[in-house]
Amino acid sequence: HTPMYFFLSNLSLVDICFTSTTIPKMLVNIQTQSKVITYEGCITQMYFFILFAGLDNFILTVMAYDRFVAICHPLHYMVIMNPRLCGLLVLLSWIMSVLNSLLESLMVLHLSFCSDLEIPHFFCEFNQVLQLACSDTFLNNIIMYFTAGLLGGGSLAGILYSYSKILSSICRIPSAQGKYKAFSTCASHLSVVSLFYGTLLGVYFSSAASRSSQSSATASVMYTVVTPMLNPFIYSLRN
């Protein structure tokens, strides 16, 4: 169980950091009745938001691989998921997230904005900031969709592939008790993955369909506040 709890501790840290990029500022805004954020503050918030959202995505993918090895190759589990590989997978997740976040943020720095702007959101959401730029954002949009497709889509494909193999392996177990035991080891992770990707995809599909910034901001609360809040409950109750 050591690799699973190592990844879980990293997921917990990322969730704390993820919510800390937006919620404290939002609470201060509510308390002071001031919704002002500086340009530097907005870029900083956007950088850390993209960083920790990407990390959440990668660590959930790594955890799916961990469950795949545990169920499909149980006898080789401790050999494959050794401490060196676990550390390397987390380090790689951090490097990829930092580079992606840095690229997106630097691209925004090249854009020009008017002096007074109003972001129709409770934080500096990347897409909303791009829409307020006075200069051409074609390259920014290309990079945004390319990285979302490559990193987000690739991670989701990896998770779906892992679970297709897990399901196939569980179906071959003869006893009902054995099937339940195998499925229960990945039920928590499956719940968290469904919550994270379900709310994330729901936000972007609903905002694309309605074009309403208010509905997009309301839906964003699901993956920025509700999902990280539910993760500890899901894993604590399971344990």
Percentage with pLDDT > 70 across the chain: 93
Supply 109's token pair.
């720095």
Q: Are 234 and 133 spatial neighbours (Cβ–Cβ below 8 Å)?
A: no
Q: In terms of C-beta density within 10 A (0-12 exposed, 13-18 middle, 19 or more buried), how is residue 184 classed?
A: exposed
pTM of the entire structure? 0.90
CATH code of residue 42: 1.20.1070.10
Which residues form the domain of 122?
3-178
Residue 181 — pLDDT band, cuts 50, 70, 90?
confident
Tokens of 76: 């080789």
**How confident is the model at residue 66, as a pLDDT?**
94
Radius of gyration of the chain from its Cα atoms, rounded to whole angstroms? 20
**Residue 223 domain flag:** no
Tell whether 170 is covered by a domain: yes
CB 232 within 8 A of CB 191: no
pLDDT band at 219 (very low <50, low <70, confident <90, very high): confident
